[in-house]
Structure 1
């Protein structure tokens, strides 16, 4: 790229060279050497008029740093997938080298922004032993018996007091943790992300947040308290708090966070779903949409049996079968019977019952309380997925082997029944979030 001078913006460059298909075959990979002093983002590379083949396209979408930072030249493969046994021999060695480079060596070292290491590590950063014995935590994963959970390798230095424990970054420096450059947000996206994320940093704003919770410390008193986060924002005092934030966060982000009218308030961005109607989030249609567009859509399964049964051992947990009956959902099936709805692939289930029930008694001994949930959903004629019944279950007070104590809730629009239906949907969302964080993530 003899005319490239760096800078921002998108540009296309032409390169000509000689190639003999008869002697060398169809190009399957290209090496890129950056002899400039700055990195550049390579979106794609296209070879036109390859003899006997036509166009060969290479999808790159990668940052290429100056060659001095790499032990091997960057290589990009054509947009032609192969099974391992079908990979041309001339490409196989390059594919193996590239895979080895991406996996990394497994050694704990500082990872730089030009590294392209997608490696795993054990959870050895849960504690902070440098703060004392009370802050020591065990290492999770990495043993033959328990190889999981595992996380992405970050290259942070070890703790001073325990070389097997990786040090942790302060919350306000967490965005500088190693992530392969190709996976990082763009500058604009990162600025937006930081601006929105900072609005939830309770460590900085704990006193101001506590002022929101008048009657029930640590909880919102009513739905209007939530809406005020978007309408009025959070008043914060100037001084050391703002100084600490300004030391770590770019000024552009601070301008995004702080109002310009001098009141010193942090305002959350209003979610699109309530910009036009503050009650839109309460609808069953929105509940189904968020479930599909959310964190665990692959857990939604087609209902194959009714009533739904549990896979928990009945000798240990007793009868855990679903208490949702035909009477609960018959009126929500557009005139179909349950058998017809199942046969027509119209009924689905989000089942967190078996995952939560073995741990529920222990969870509910803490300040946090929840239920194990099952949600039956119906696919309507217009393609909208709506909940038609939610089952909330607790272990029997007499012991686990006595089975579950369950209540079933169905859609309602008025009175106490409507409030209980909203509460049931909230517990489903709690289950969904917890399952995602503790099981899907790990």
Structure 2
């Protein structure tokens, strides 16, 4: 071998070649990489950091600064790297000397000496280096438990976590990546000249407890130093905006336009009102005229695609309690009469006035005792949640009742309503208890119209509870503290960070925008839903009873009496309503998630002792309990996080909430509620009493009376627009069983293969669910509206598909 050849070999042994993938800010679509010709590559520098050789102080050795090189095919880079003295790269610094930020997708190193590829999955915005107090660092995709982390990387990992935690002071800036907590003190605007814009602070008290949200550090208002001032820009850690792509921009912009009544569909309102003597719907036909070709008309909601009157049937009314957009409220009645938990000293006796004698004539010859023993008596109970607010609400334009709906399970597996109880406060005072009236099913004459109205009062309560508790609180709000704690204490190389990260995508972003236009004072929710300015207080009341361990589907079903433990059944529980679409489909998804999590956790943790010894995991869980959900920290139901079983269950619950549960309560909003008569959000009149003008009007024109009772035209159109936006899948969505990083999210082949197996299992489940929907013996799968239950089918295309389970709460 010649000396020249020897020199070339020695030189190659001291070089590592790499490929960098990045996008500039103005390139917003997934897959749009930056053409080399438009980037000054001499302004982007990288330095490799050793994972196996330290510099004498314990820190991994840092290589020489190297700048990007542009080629026709992309960005290349060559690092001087002596393997003998520097060892194996495990991290790198990057500096951006450009004035604008860019999005760093990945770095791939080719270690020719060891015939090895080292992948760095970055997916992060990189600003000018002067914006940062510490250097931007990225780690390879190798996963480590803290006790197994190479000593050379420990310092860098700890410094990165310290950076992400911040110091809890100051107003956060756009380019920062700091994760910190705050209470919900930015929903109101006490400085506004409109004195009704102030709102109570949620979180930090036993009166109005709440999960924490991401801290922004904006200045306090003048009139209330505990309230944070509102601005159009709401900080979230910059990497939570890695999905600030064309599709996500469209969602946020659409919501902003809706809040300003400035969309083509909302402009229809002007035309409608100009052509009418009053701004109201008078006939069902007028409502149906809203649907047609976009952009000026709304898409036809799925609930009326086949039959525009089937929504009125009792069969559909009850079916939507187990296959609708809020299918996890119904519960079994364990004893009669059902009890109220309201304080009798404050609200009097709230025991139901529905007697056994009222119900049994409608129960096909079955007694109450027999029905309870045979698991055939159920209730949709919105009494206790709504009743405390009624006196104040009914002093406004709203006119509402607290409702109880008693249901009977028939021999064919369907539910039928037996009665509806409407309650409102006593004019003599709360301590005298409610004034109640019971209504029964009717199919003819004025009684049928009265019954239709009674069902509307029930659905309005259900729609409010759904939006504020089932949807916002139980998915969006409760997950955010987990996201914050994960980024503060679980490093990117930690296996549990890698497991959970896909299920956090875009959540802090969509939550911040919700605080700006949806759940804020006089925002879209307050202006279009019954609960008005008390909306978020209702969700805070519900949070008092929130139990993390009951958010998993099996425990939730058992708690509500909808299932019993049964080891002989496929999922360890047996449904008491066998044809319960949400539950039966959900159990398939739950089992698949849990199996995947169990296999993953068992790969990295070989014993329970490893859980207790994991310092990062313990810090993460401690902060979730004591800070993120700190208002409930004294609850005894929190996992102690001492065993693999606890970790598996906690991760399964969290993934379930962020994926399947959110899909079940979100993507059916417009398909069911886009037709306002099926799911009204407000009531403005009390039930007509015999002898009154309203009663006379009802006998002559029940359509007009119904429409004058429920959500008015303006709020209807705004609500429809919001539900349409929230029910859409964006083109770049990531669905359960898929990851944006492909197979590169970890370098460990066993978890990669386990995840592929999980994806294949979801495909099998989807086929199983399709077969269920065509089984004619399962009457609750389609119902009178002929609307197959597909909300828990894992896959979907973009658009409003009434199916698909995204990895995360991304909309």
State the match for 1:121 in structure 2.
183
Contact 1:319–1:404 under 8 Å retained in 2: yes
State the match for 2:339 in structure 1.
309
Contact 2:190–2:199 under 8 Å retained in 1: no
State the match for 2:419 in structure 1.
389
Instruction: Determine which of 430, 436, 449 is the counterpart of 1:400.
Output: 430
Aligned-pair CA distance for 1:89:
8.1
Partners of 1:75 and 1:110 in 2: how far apart?
22
State the match for 2:622 in structure 1.
none
Instruction: Determine which of 344, 352, 376 is the counterpart of 2:382.
Output: 352
Aligned-pair CA distance for 1:370:
0.3
State the match for 1:228 in structure 2.
289
Q: Which has the higher contact order (CA 8 A, sep 6+)?
A: 2
Partners of 1:33 and 1:333 in 2: how far apart?
72
Aligned pairs for 1:415-430 (under 5 A) are 415-430=445-460
Partners of 1:382 and 1:101 in 2: how far apart?
60
Partners of 2:142 and 2:449 in 1: how far apart?
54
Give deviations 1:170-192, integer Å, cap 9, x for gaps.
Answer: xxxx6x54445547675225425
State the match for 1:374 in structure 2.
404
Partners of 1:128 and 1:95 in 2: how far apart?
42
State the match for 1:191 in structure 2.
250
Q: Quick one: structure 1 residues 111 and 322, their matched pair in 2 at CA, closer, same or farther if it must change by over 3 Å? A: farther
Aligned-pair CA distance for 1:392:
0.8
Contact 1:158–1:165 under 8 Å retained in 2: yes
Aligned-pair CA distance for 1:314:
3.5
Q: Quick one: structure 1 residues 145 and 314, their matched pair in 2 at CA, closer, same or farther if it must change by over 3 Å? A: closer
Contact 1:101–1:117 under 8 Å retained in 2: no
The structure whose residues are more often helix, as a share, is 2
Give deviations 1:307-358, integer Å, cap 9, x for gaps.
Answer: 2122233344333211233455547667654444434544432322123323
State the match for 2:536 in structure 1.
438
* SS at structure 1 position matched to 2:341: coil
Q: Quick one: structure 1 residues 194 and 360, their matched pair in 2 at CA, closer, same or farther if it must change by over 3 Å? A: same
Matched, 1:110 2:169: no
Partners of 1:406 and 1:280 in 2: how far apart?
29
Gaps of 5+ in 1: 12-16, 21-29, 46-56, 233-255, 258-265
* SS at structure 1 position matched to 2:387: helix
Matched, 1:4 2:4: no
Contact 1:332–1:388 under 8 Å retained in 2: yes
* SS at structure 1 position matched to 2:419: strand
Q: Quick one: structure 1 residues 319 and 143, their matched pair in 2 at CA, closer, same or farther if it must change by over 3 Å? A: closer
Contact 2:95–2:136 under 8 Å retained in 1: no
Partners of 2:179 and 2:335 in 1: how far apart?
45
Contact 1:196–1:268 under 8 Å retained in 2: no
Q: Quick one: structure 1 residues 313 and 64, their matched pair in 2 at CA, closer, same or farther if it must change by over 3 Å? A: same
Contact 2:186–2:227 under 8 Å retained in 1: yes
Q: Quick one: structure 1 residues 158 and 427, their matched pair in 2 at CA, closer, same or farther if it must change by over 3 Å? A: same
Partners of 1:383 and 1:124 in 2: how far apart?
47
State the match for 1:272 in structure 2.
302
Aligned-pair CA distance for 1:406:
1.9
Contact 1:212–1:220 under 8 Å retained in 2: no
Contact 1:323–1:406 under 8 Å retained in 2: yes
Contact 1:371–1:393 under 8 Å retained in 2: yes
Contact 1:140–1:148 under 8 Å retained in 2: no
Contact 2:441–2:451 under 8 Å retained in 1: yes
Question: How many corresponding residue pairs?
Answer: 384
Matched, 1:281 2:311: yes
Aligned-pair CA distance for 1:160:
7.7
Partners of 1:325 and 1:93 in 2: how far apart?
69
Partners of 2:432 and 2:464 in 1: how far apart?
26
Partners of 1:77 and 1:386 in 2: how far apart?
58
Aligned-pair CA distance for 1:40:
4.5
Partners of 1:374 and 1:79 in 2: how far apart?
54
* SS at structure 2 position matched to 1:375: strand
Partners of 1:99 and 1:19 in 2: how far apart?
18
State the match for 1:363 in structure 2.
393
* SS at structure 1 position matched to 2:378: strand
Instruction: Determine which of 263, 273, 297 is the counterpart of 1:211.
Output: 273
Aligned-pair CA distance for 1:199:
5.2
Aligned-pair CA distance for 1:120:
2.5
Contact 1:124–1:139 under 8 Å retained in 2: no
Contact 2:168–2:180 under 8 Å retained in 1: no
Q: Quick one: structure 1 residues 117 and 187, their matched pair in 2 at CA, closer, same or farther if it must change by over 3 Å? A: farther
Aligned-pair CA distance for 1:393:
0.9
- What root-mean-square deviation, in Å, do the aligned CA atoms of Structure 1 and Structure 2 show? 5.3
State the match for 2:439 in structure 1.
409
Give the TM-score normalised by the residue count of structure 2.
Answer: 0.38
Aligned-pair CA distance for 1:362:
2.8
